[in-house]
Chain A
Amino acid sequence: MEQSNDGNLSQVRHVVLVLSGKGGVGKSTITTELALALRHAGKKVGILDVDLCGPSIPHMLGVGRPDVHQCDSGWVPVYADAQKGLALMSIGFLLEDPDEAVVWRGPKKTAMIAQFVSDVAWGELDVLLVDTPPGTSDEHLAVLENLKKHRVDGAVLVTTPQAVSTGDVRREITFCKKTGVRILGIIENMSGFVCPHCSECSNIFSKGGGEELAKLTGSTFLGAVPLDPLLSGAMEEGADFIRSFPDSASFGAISTISRALLCDLEGA
């Protein structure tokens, strides 16, 4: 029984949750960017998108709405690249109509996530990133309960610089502490905007909150990613931002963060 529960995750070397507490801070964007950065570093990566109400990852990776197939071990993930180095499973793939809302209460969401976690035939992966919806509720508890038999390396928390955001992320940190999830670090997203016309930096969503939060809670500050219309644009088009804009400020930040993360995961 234990074997089959862990079966589909048995060749997944590291599992990292991407959490926030606050909505709209860029969890899915950061998950996608980290996955691409790790892929470019030669790693085999998977993304599990458990945001049942608002699954954003399929759009960001430009995979459209493919059919999902089953094999003996379960669902075959969708590959975002020809080399099958970036695998993805999202509820988005199971919806017939992309505009149809998933209006489910907690128990049904819990049951779906249990299936997602156990029944996707990931095969061999270096890192499985789990993108989550905002909050500290059914989805988050379901993910942890179903990953219990497999090791969860830890969680990366995403915030924007504002107090309104870090206020929610503090609660997410408590969630991690209560559920025994190691906090790998905090990423501050939307950290300043450099005007492309005059290079003036505007702190549209305030400044410094991520670093302060890391200090306050004794967590590692992984880095700050600036607001970048090139990045937003790439996400919209489903383009590989890393390949298209290697000179952008966000690329630098994301590469540093993914290297630090990999170091932590492989060193532990």
Chain B
Amino acid sequence: MIGFRLLKAVSDSVSSAEGAAADSQDEEVVTSDSADDFPADSQDEKVVVTSDSANDFPADSEDEKVVATIDSANDSPDSKTLVVVAKLQAAISPLSPFVSSMKTYAGCNSKAIWLSTATAIFLFVAVRVYVGMTQKSKHNRPGTVADLVRRGQLRSDRRGMYAQGISSLKYEDPFNNPYVKLGKSNSTVEMCGKVYKLSPVTLTKEEQATHQRRRSRAYQWKRPTMFLKEGDSIPPDVDPESVRWIPANHPFATTSSDIDESLAQTNVYQKHGVPFRIQAEHEALQRKLEGLQQDQKLNKFFIDSDNAKAYERSLKLHPKSNEAMDQNPSANQDGNSSPSSSNSSSSSFNSTAPSDELQKP
């Protein structure tokens, strides 16, 4: 492409060049520039080149024409000039078929070339415009922070660094750390493969106080001192605003409050020893066992003193009844759960240790 343009420029400088007509097959090139340099007589000498895209111009015939033209002018005073020009033309003339063929070729494909050039330029411009539009459309895309500004949730004039611009941060190194080097013009830090920029906190004490005042006006809240389940009645001397209602299925709701507050406090403060409930259960169990043992002892003693004689008499008087009682020892043993029932104890005593009683004096 570049080479063709060079050749074309050369051919244009030798012969007069018209606008490259793509459709034209034949061209008549007239050396307008060369006509100015030549004397008046040389105007008779015209190199007529007939270009045909289909045919290569035969070089020999071209030379013959030029030579014939030169020979006719040898005798004039400007013959040397003419000779030089002719020689120049002779040097260039071999290229002219090539140039003409290229012109033909160019003529046919110039449309394509111009088309491709125009397409490239168009694509370049289109991409630039698209990129520009894309960057601008970020502000108009739904779901960005701009929507929050639009809804009034965020004030655009008081936004952080993006409202102020990232271009220049006028602050000194906030960390006063010599190991972290921040350029004065480019305060960026590279960390874990990502590039970060420092943005200073802009919240002032006055703004903090303003927010506190706003919240104190907006949120009036009193700490609840009483928690009631749904359905409970409010005691008469209690401020209704200090009552917090708890749903029945809430983890804080209980059907009954078995734990005494003072007892609970004591349990929390306990540092040593057995915990209260464990101790209480242990003591209760201990008491129960002792009670059972006491009852057994009492039962044993009670049977010895009261029923020994009766047993002896019954043995002597009713031997058959003793046999009946011996046949039912299990029933008597099962009925021995209550130490207060002397009858059962006496029967069990009779069933279990008759021999001992008989042996006692």
Q: Judge: A and B partners, yes or no.
A: no
A-side residues, CB < 8 A to B, are none
